[in-house]
Structures are given as C-alpha cells and as structure tokens.
Amino acid sequence: MDQIPMTRAGYEKLKAELRHLETVELPKVLDRLAKAREEGDLSENAEYQFSQEARLLLEARIRDYRDRLARAYLVDPAEMPRDQVALGATVRVKDLDTGEEEEFTLVGAGEDDPNANRIVVTCPLAQGLVGKRVGQIAEIQVPAGLLRFEILQIRYDSPESS
C-alpha cells in the first residue's frame, strides 16, 4: 500500500469533503432511491436506475476518499529543502521544445487544481521535477512523449498554503 503525502491543510480538506459526502450527499441520494423504489416496477423506472447509479458513484468516491486518508502521511513543506523542487514548491520552468515558460505548484493529495497548475506531487510531471535545482534539466516521459524542462526558479510562498 503506497503512502500519499499530504499537508495538514490538504488532509483536513479531504476529511471535510468526505464528511460532506457521507452526511449530506449520500442521505439525499438514498432518499431519492427510496422514493423511486416506492413507484413500483423497477425495471422501467428511470428515476430508480438514475438514483442507483448515483449511489454507486457516490459510494465509490467515499471509498476512494477513505482510502486516501488511510494512506496519508503528513508532510510539513517548511521542512523541505529550499534549494530544490519538493512538496510545496512553486517552480517556474522553460519548455525546451517550445520555449514557453510555465509555473507549477507541487501540492499534496486533495489540494490539486489543474486549472491553476497545482499538481499532486505524486503525478509523473511532478515526480520528474522533484529534487531538481535551478538550472537543471528535467526530462519527463509522459504518454504524449518526452517533456524537457529547464528549472528557472523555485520558491516556497507559504509553508502551509500548499
């Protein structure tokens, strides 16, 4: 069982989301399912089929959250080395194939937001950057091919903001 690095903030956020799913969302879905079941013939009851599918999806999410929390280990970004890429770092890179610059913030599970370039430290892109220093080249094999980045800057904005 692989452990999942998380900051305290990420752990608490995931715990709160799990609590919401279990205490708010699941009872709603179960109530809809019970009402749909009362309508009779289940084989032709679209609301029952929909509610049953929603219940299964929600229960799968709940199991996933529980699993992630069970495998979590807390990491304090303040204890990470400041001269290399690690959890909590915001790293500015230059794509050596396109010349474009991008920024990524490496975060723990539950804190990721791809639209804001906040990537989980365990994903392949982040793993290829971890341990690199300014000026080094990261070559990262992804399904789309080989990514090559030069590390331009590493910064740690706030120890627990990641």
Tokens of 75: 């990491």
pLDDT mean over 79-107 = 92
* Domain presence at residue 108: yes
> What domain range includes position 24?
4-74
pLDDT at 158: 57
pLDDT digits (tens, 9 = 90+) for 56-90: 999 999 999 999 999 998 888 778 778 999 998 99
pLDDT band with cut points at 50, 70 and 90 for residue 5: confident
pLDDT at 142: 86
Closest CA to 88 of 111, 114, 107: 107
Tokens of 19: 């609590």
Of the listed ranges 39-43, 46-50, 126-130, 137-141, the least confidently predicted one is 39-43
pLDDT digits (tens, 9 = 90+) for 113-125: 989 999 999 899 9
- Domain final residue, candidates 28, 50, 74: 74
Task: Write the single-letter amino acid at 24.
Answer: V
Domain match, 69 and 81 both: no
Do residues 121 and 20 lie in contact, with contact meaning Cβ atoms separated by under 8 Å?
A: no
pLDDT at 94: 97
Tokens of 2: 């692989």
79: left (phi over 0), alpha (psi -120 to 50) or beta: alpha
* Domain presence at residue 65: yes
pLDDT at 41: 66
60: three-class secondary structure by DSSP:
helix
Of the listed ranges 45-49, 62-66, 137-141, 152-156, the least confidently predicted one is 45-49
Higher-pLDDT residue of 47 and 129 is: 129
CATH no. for residue 151? 3.10.50.30
155: three-class secondary structure by DSSP:
strand
Count helices and strands (H / E) in the chain: 4, 7
Domain match, 141 and 87 both: yes
CA quadruple 22, 107, 69, 2: dihedral sign: positive
- Domain final residue, candidates 15, 41, 74: 74
Domain match, 39 and 69 both: yes
Domain match, 61 and 86 both: no
- Domain final residue, candidates 37, 56, 74: 74
Count CB atoms within 10 A of the CB of residue 105.
23
Domain match, 64 and 10 both: yes
Q: What is the pTM of this model?
A: 0.71
pLDDT band with cut points at 50, 70 and 90 for residue 49: confident
